[in-house]
């Protein structure tokens, strides 16, 4: 081939590649949203103290400190004297939305004026004007941003101003939403979903939702109470690997997978706080992490879903991850009587405060056990009703089809099946088996039932893979469940649950469980006499073997320990050694007493029966 011909082929190829690159660049998908991080000049930290433990901004002198609750995990604040302008580069043009959580408080007789302005050269267009002494709310406005226009937040007056990182987003007015709803119904036992009560299902709406979803019929939590279980969800780590305890929040270098998701999604949460509170590290990567006192109570399922609907109605966010959590089913049980009467028209009890830690193992008569169970079932029936309403609203709004909806719980609840109450004390299936139902966009995997053992640690890797968000899968214990849904196997051979580092009641010694196929082993560290003195006389813990081994296919209730009849398989013996080493290491490095609870938080824990 002649040299000139070679050159012309090369030039032609080069031009084609260049053209492709130019076209690709031009049509590259523009970001749907943008978080406006301010530079330090626009954020005046002088005169403020930041209380990291209680997540408060403190202002003023020693005698009279004004406390400002941080409006979001990350926020900006300044001391307003006269006028202050915050300039924000929009980076997005056309129809857009503006979101921030805004707090201000006047320190003079005059109101504070807050204006949202679009500015081009000297031309100014006022979009919103608030004049108040106090303001503490979401601030959402619609904008039509022209080229070269800037967004100005202007404040005049004297006082304190704080706001969360402003979000500017392209409004998605179409019905095709890229939404992920993660719904955590705290304390929902797996075997109560679809349970037959008086000839009817206890959860007709969840059953209906299941029809369009993938159902994981053997899903296990990695612990049996709220704090370690939800931390395993968000970190995809075993309890002894994330190491979060009542006394220590999540280390900064540990994974928290909302951070990864936040690269592609706006991340919001309404939750019941307490053991899913900010101070343990749960708010990382969230744009808004709001713990509402109203989500602690019975009836809070309705409040949670209503709050979620209000948010998505008002914002029209393009891509949203919304974590919803309620303590509706958690003791104390006080269901709406309308639902209780559906369970039993003449109930023995109308409400039950729940047993405190000291009465964890208290024996009561069968009739009373039945009455407690009815109250819990009525709470489930009530929650299911509002769950159904939520799903129907999403359908009417047109958001249902394209959304991913994950329904799960963190642990179950015991009604004296193994001689104890509530949760956080054992690893039997009434406590660690959880519902896990995932509705994928456009009902992909509709009606698929997966019976393999999966964990709460697998939920986030599944969400991330489904949304094509990259993360370091080597740094987590969980696995994406998509291969299972596509007929393949998981890499994992066992699944662990434990109460080791992050126990709920100090007097209960550590334990761990190993599940592999149809066998389950529980390893119980012994009670010593000092631990036993904690419990009331009439509620001492039952005698249990150090190692329990169950055939969970034949013995679903885990009543028959077959350790005497059977040699522990080598596979399990090896896992025991590995786990004991991992737990001992975690216990040795366990941090204590770092977290100080505020009055309000102690009140929440009291309301849930965790402290006397
Ligand atoms: Zn819980």
pLDDT one-digit tens code per residue, 407-450: 999 999 999 999 999 999 999 999 999 999 999 999 999 999 99
- State yes or no: pLDDT of 121 exceeds 70: yes
Residues carrying CATH 3.40.720.10, the chain: 178-491
Q: What is the mean pLDDT of residues 12-31?
A: 75
| 341 CA to centre of ligand 1 in angstroms | 26
| CB atoms inside a 10 Å sphere around CB 598 | 16
- Distance from Cα 52 to the centre of ligand 1, integer Å: 25
Using alpha carbons, list the distances in angstroms from residue 236 to 64, 364, 365, 517, 588. Answer: 43, 38, 40, 21, 22
Least reliable range by pLDDT among 225-239, 381-395, 473-487, 574-588: 574-588
Mean confidence (pLDDT) of the chain: 92
Compute the distance from residue 110 Cα to the ligand 1 centre, in Å: 46
| CA of 330 relative to ligand 1 center, distance in Å | 7
What distance in angstroms lies between residue 399's CA and the mean position of ligand 1's atoms? Answer: 28
Do residues 77 and 162 touch, judged by C-beta distance below 8 A? Answer: yes
How confident is residue 11, by pLDDT bands cut at 50, 70 and 90? confident
Q: How far is the CA of 484 from the centre of ligand 1 (A)?
A: 27
| 51 pLDDT more than 60 | yes
The Cα 493–Cα 417 span in angstroms is 28
What spacing in Å lies between the alpha carbon of 375 and ligand 1's midpoint?
17
Q: Which two tokens stand for residue 271?
A: 């939750």
Q: Is the pLDDT of residue 595 over 70?
A: no
Compute the distance from residue 187 Cα to the ligand 1 centre, in Å.
5
Label residue 354 by pLDDT band (50, 70, 90). confident
Q: Is 137 exposed, middle or buried (0-12, 13-18, 19+ CB in 10 A)?
A: exposed
CATH number of 178-491: 3.40.720.10
H helical segments located in 236-346: 239-242, 258-261, 300-315, 337-343
User: What's the pLDDT at 211?
Assistant: 97
CA 284, CA 281: separation in Å to the nearest integer? Answer: 6
Distance from the alpha carbon of residue 324 to the mean position of ligand 1, in angstroms = 13
- Whole-number CA gyration radius for the chain: 27
- Per-range mean pLDDT, top range of 74-78, 474-478, 586-590: 474-478
Distance 343 CA to ligand 1 centre (A): 24
**Segment 483-538, tens digit of pLDDT:** 999 999 999 999 999 998 766 788 999 999 999 989 999 999 999 888 899 999 88
- What is the whole-number distance in angstroms between the Cα of residue 501 and the centre of ligand 1? 17
Tell how far the Cα of 483 is from the centroid of ligand 1, in angstroms. Answer: 29
User: Which is higher by pLDDT, 83 or 31?
Assistant: 83
Please, what is the Cα angle at 435 between 431 and 440, to 5 degrees? 155
The CA 74 to ligand 1 mean position distance, Å, reads 26
24-33, 463-472, 515-524 — which is least confidently predicted? Answer: 24-33
Task: Say what the pLDDT of residue 174 is.
Answer: 77
Residue 342: closest CA among 203, 492, 185 = 203
**This prediction's pTM:** 0.93
186 CA from centroid of ligand 1 (Å):
5
Distance 430 CA to ligand 1 centre (A): 13
pLDDT at position 27: 61
User: Quick one: 540 exposed, middle or buried, by C-beta within 10 A (0-12, 13-18, 19+)?
Assistant: middle
pLDDT of residue 480: 98
410 C-alpha vs ligand 1 centroid, how far in Å? Answer: 5
Does residue 333 contact residue 340 with C-beta atoms inside 8 Å?
Answer: no
CA 583 – ligand 1 centroid, Å:
22
Query: Band of the pLDDT at 29, cuts 50, 70, 90?
Result: low
Question: Beta partners for 550?
Answer: 520
The pLDDT score that the predictor gives to residue 502 is 65
* 36 CB-near residues (< 8 Å, 6+ apart): 88, 89, 151, 165, 166, 167, 168
Residue 593 has pLDDT above 60, yes or no: no
pLDDT at 592: 55
Please report the pLDDT score of residue 600 as a whole number: 77
CA of 473 to the centre of ligand 1 (A): 26
Q: Express each pLDDT in 167-180 by its tens digit.
A: 999 988 777 888 99
Ligand 1 mean position to 188 CA, how many Å?
A: 8
Q: pLDDT tens-digit profile of 149-207?
A: 999 999 999 999 999 999 999 988 777 888 999 999 999 999 999 999 999 999 999 99
Q: Ligand 1: distance of its center to the CA of 49 in Å?
A: 33
* pLDDT at 25 (0 to 100): 64
Confidence at 560, pLDDT banded by 50, 70, 90: very high
Q: Separation of 274 CA from ligand 1 center, angstroms?
A: 10
Share of the chain above pLDDT 70, in %: 96
Contact 409, 347 (CB under 8 A): no
Distance (angstroms) between ligand 1 centre and the Cα of 279 equals 16
DSSP 8-class letter at 208:
H
Residue 384 alpha carbon to ligand 1 centre in Å? 17
Tell me the CATH number for domain 33-170.
2.60.120
pLDDT at 55 over 90: no
Beta strands in 387-529 (DSSP E): 404-408, 414-415, 421-422, 433-434, 436-439, 449-450, 454-455, 495-499, 511-516, 519-524
């Amino acid at each position: 081939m002649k040299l000139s011909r070679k050159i012309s082929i090369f030039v032609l190829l080069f031009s084609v590649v260049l053209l492709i690159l130019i076209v690709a660049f031009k049509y590259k998908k523009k970001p749907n949203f943008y978080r406006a991080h301010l530079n330090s000049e626009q954020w005046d930290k002088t005169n403020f103290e930041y209380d990291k433990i209680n997540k408060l901004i403190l202002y003023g002198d020693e005698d009279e400190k004004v406390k400002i609750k941080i409006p979001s995990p990350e926020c900006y604040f300044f001391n307003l004297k006269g006028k202050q302008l915050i300039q924000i580069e929009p980076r997005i043009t056309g129809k857009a939305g503006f979101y921030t959580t805004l707090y201000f408080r006047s320190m003079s007789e005059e109101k504070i004026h807050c204006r949202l302005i679009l500015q081009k050269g000297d031309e100014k267009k006022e979009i919103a004007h608030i004049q108040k002494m106090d303001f503490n709310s979401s601030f959402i406005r619609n904008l039509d941003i022209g080229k070269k226009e800037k967004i100005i937040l202007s404040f005049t007056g004297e006082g304190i101003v704080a706001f969360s990182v402003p979000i500017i987003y392209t409004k998605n007015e179409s019905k095709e939403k890229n939404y992920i709803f993660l719904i955590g119904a705290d304390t929902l036992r797996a075997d109560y979903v679809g349970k037959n009560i008086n000839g009817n299902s206890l959860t007709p709406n969840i059953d209906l939702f299941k029809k369009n979803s993938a159902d994981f019929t053997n899903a296990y939590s990695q612990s049996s109470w709220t704090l370690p279980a939800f931390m395993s969800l968000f970190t995809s780590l075993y309890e002894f690997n994330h190491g979060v305890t009542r006394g220590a929040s999540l280390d900064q270098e540990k994974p928290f997978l909302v951070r990864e998701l936040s690269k592609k999604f706006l991340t919001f949460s309404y939750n019941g706080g307490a053991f899913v509170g900010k101070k343990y590290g749960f708010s990382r990567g969230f744009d808004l992490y709001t713990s509402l006192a109203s989500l602690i109570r019975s009836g809070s399922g309705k409040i949670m879903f209503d709050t979620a609907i209000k948010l998505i109605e008002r914002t029209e966010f393009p891509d949203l991850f919304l974590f919803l959590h309620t303590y509706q089913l958690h003791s104390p049980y006080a269901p709406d009587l309308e639902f209780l009467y559906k369970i039993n028209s003449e109930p023995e009890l109308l409400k039950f405060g729940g047993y405190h830690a000291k009465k964890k193992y208290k024996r009561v008569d069968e009739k009373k056990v039945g009455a407690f169970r009815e109250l819990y079932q009525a709470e489930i029936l009530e929650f299911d009703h509002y769950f159904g309403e939520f799903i129907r609203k999403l359908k009417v709004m047109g958001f249902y089809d394209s959304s991913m909806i994950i329904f799960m719980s963190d642990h179950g609840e015991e009604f004296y099946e193994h001689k104890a109450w509530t949760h956080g004390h054992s690893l039997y299936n009434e406590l660690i088996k959880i519902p896990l139902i995932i509705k994928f966009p456009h009902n992909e995997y509709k009606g698929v039932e997966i019976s393999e053992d999966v964990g709460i640690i697998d939920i986030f890797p599944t969400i991330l893979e489904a949304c094509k968000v990259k993360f370091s899968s080597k740094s987590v214990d969980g696995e994406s469940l998509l291969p299972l849904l596509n007929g393949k196997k998981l890499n994992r051979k066992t699944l662990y649950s434990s109460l080791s580092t992050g126990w709920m009641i100090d007097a209960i010694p550590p334990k761990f469980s190993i599940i592999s196929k149809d066998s389950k082993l529980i390893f119980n560290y012994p009670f010593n006499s000092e631990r036993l003195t904690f419990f009331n006389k009439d509620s001492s813990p039952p005698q249990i073997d150090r190692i329990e081994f169950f055939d969970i296919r034949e013995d679903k209730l885990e009543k028959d320990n077959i350790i005497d009849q059977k040699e522990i398989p080598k596979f399990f013996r090896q896992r025991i050694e590995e786990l004991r080493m991992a737990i001992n290491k975690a216990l040795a490095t366990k941090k204590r007493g770092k977290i100080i609870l505020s009055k309000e938080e102690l009140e929440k824990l009291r309301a849930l029966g965790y402290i006397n």
